[in-house]
Structure 1
Amino acid sequence: MIVALSRHYFQIDNSKSIPLYIQIQENIIELIDLGMLNSGDVLPSERDLSQYYGVNRMTVRQAIDGLVQRGLIIKQHGVGTFISEQKPVQSFMPTVTGFSQRMREAGMRPSSKLVERKVINPTPMLAHRLQMPPTEQVIMIQRLRYVNDEPLMLETSYLSFERFQRILAHDISDHSLYQIMKEEYGVQVAEAEHTFEPMLINSAEARHFDLPEGQPAMLVRVLAYGQDRRVMEFSKSVVRGDRCRYYFRVTTPTPIII
């Protein structure tokens, strides 16, 4: 089917140091992840996308070709560009704790460096994730997380400015965000949704880790809910593939004997 999304959903930030074609890829992937683009949907033409994003057609083509190589979209000459059949998302139940607590429980020494903190106007997709009107502002916090003094994860968190603006007064470079939210607002994480996706780091991410571009990593998205089922935080973390592994313990329901 032909996509009927408003052009406002196709957005990038020209002020960022991240290459434009990578931002376009991330934007389209996010639309797929949110269910706004589904298998079989036809993307707008290269000409339309270049107008939406404010870039030349070569940049759009570079982004599209990269998504084709990753198997996320399919190009059919003379027909169009389609969203391919997406990878199934397997549901797991990780422990609902923050990074610092998990690392300490594993006997490691966590620390963080604040990369960026600012108040931004959310994209329609980000506002959708945070269950808030797109007219409200969002706190964006990016931190480089270390384990035993080695960079492990580049984490970007998004919070509602209206709900959590006092967090801006805290030193969050080396403190648990969840702990601050608990102490300042009495809000605790009750549930979280995690998605995991293999990826290759781009040039901007590689600089933080002091690694070559194209190294394998894991993209971890977390949507954290409070006791009232309202979204507290949405985060995206790029985790080095050479320094981590994920462990899940899955239990089966108690069998009923009849």
Structure 2
Amino acid sequence: MQTGDRIDRGSPLPMYHQLKQLLVKDIERRRLQPGDRILGDHELCSRYDVSRTVVRQALAELENEGVIERVKGRGTFVAHPKIAEGLVQSLTGLFEDVAARGGHLRSEVRRLEVVPADDAVAADLAIPTRTPVIHLERLRFVNDEPWVWTVTHIPESIAPGLVGEDLTDRSLYEVLESSYGVRLVRGVRSVEAAVANAAQARLLGIRRGDPVLALRSVSLGESERPVESFLALHRGDRSRFQVELNRAADRRAGTPLLLVTS
């Protein structure tokens, strides 16, 4: 071990903070990639001659910062970067969010057909039950890794030719706007924690019971009528949602940007 790779016990910096810096430096120097294993707790204690408490605090902070991920029973690994999706500050789709960060999104269309709206879909879209709607199911890959499974419903009357569109490498929102003149202007989104069932786990390449983020959305067009509703199940280890909050000058004016309910 080089001199600069040791804990400086005379430094005013806490040992766990020094260890964090050393681990990040080691990952960069060795050019480790997402999914590569790093040393475990006991190995780090031995290598850097520190207590397990120091190691655990350093690893916990690195995990919170998205540098590493710890998998029970398997070890500690360099984390895959998480795609940040805007939750309320802008009405964008995952396609735009991934592209803005230099990634590539590909969709595997599992189902695309016209079906009668059930009660729940009809309520979301403010249409009578059994009105024809387009049912779109997609397994979406970011840089060829399964990332999110989505189920989208759109009234057939606003995009009658959508069932014939190729959505493999195209943004649904861009298709709606360019081909059907439908522009989404605002929406309501909510996100909640859930766990993957067996079928969802197989689709997303995770284990049954692993965490997923369930994003629900209803989007409105320029006529202020709902034009899209969807449910998206995001892998919890690959996604995060960011929210931009503003405090109104007059607290009595306006509506809250984020409402959390139990």
TM over 0.5: yes
- Which of 205, 208, 211 aligns to 2:206? It is 211
Aligned 8 A contact 1:111 1:147 in 2: yes
8 Å CA contact retained: 1:143, 1:173: no
Tell me if 1:188 matches 2:187. no
Q: Is the 8 A contact 1:114 1:144 kept in 2?
A: yes
| Cross-structure match for 1:249 | 244
Unaligned runs of 5+ in 2: 1-86, 252-262
4+ aligned runs moved over 2 Å, structure 1: none
- Which structure dedicates a bigger proportion of its chain to strand? 2
TM-score, length basis structure 2: 0.60
Residue 110 (structure 1) aligns with:
105
The answer to whether structure 1 residue 140 and structure 2 residue 135 are counterparts is: yes
Q: Is the partner of 1:245 in helix, strand or coil?
A: strand
**Larger radius of gyration between Structure 1 and Structure 2:** 2
Verify the 8 A CA contact 2:118 2:130 in the aligned structure 1.
no
The CA distance in 1 between the partners of 2:226 and 2:135, in whole Å, is 15
User: 2:116 — aligned with what?
Assistant: 121
User: Please, which runs of 5 or more residues in structure 1 have no aligned partner?
Assistant: 1-91
Map 1:51-130; keep pairs closer than 5 Å.
93-130=88-125
2:209 is the counterpart of 1:201: no
| Separation in structure 2 between the aligned mates of residue 96 and residue 228 of structure 1, nearest angstrom | 16
> TM-score of the superposition, structure 1-length normalised?
0.61
| Alpha-carbon separation, structure 1, partners of 2:130 and 2:238 | 39
The count of residues paired between Structure 1 and Structure 2 equals 165
How far did 1:134 drift? 1.2
Q: Verify: 1:236 aligned to 2:227, yes or no.
A: no
- Percent identity reads 25
Instruction: For 1:100 and 1:125, locate their aligned partners in 2 and report how far apart those are by CA, in whole Å.
Output: 26
Deviations 1:67-116 (A, max 9, x none): xxxxxxxxxxxxxxxxxxxxxxxxx7331111111111122221111111
Partners in 2 of 1:167 and 1:131 — Cα distance?
20
Shift of 1:255: 6.0
Letter in 1 for 2:127: M
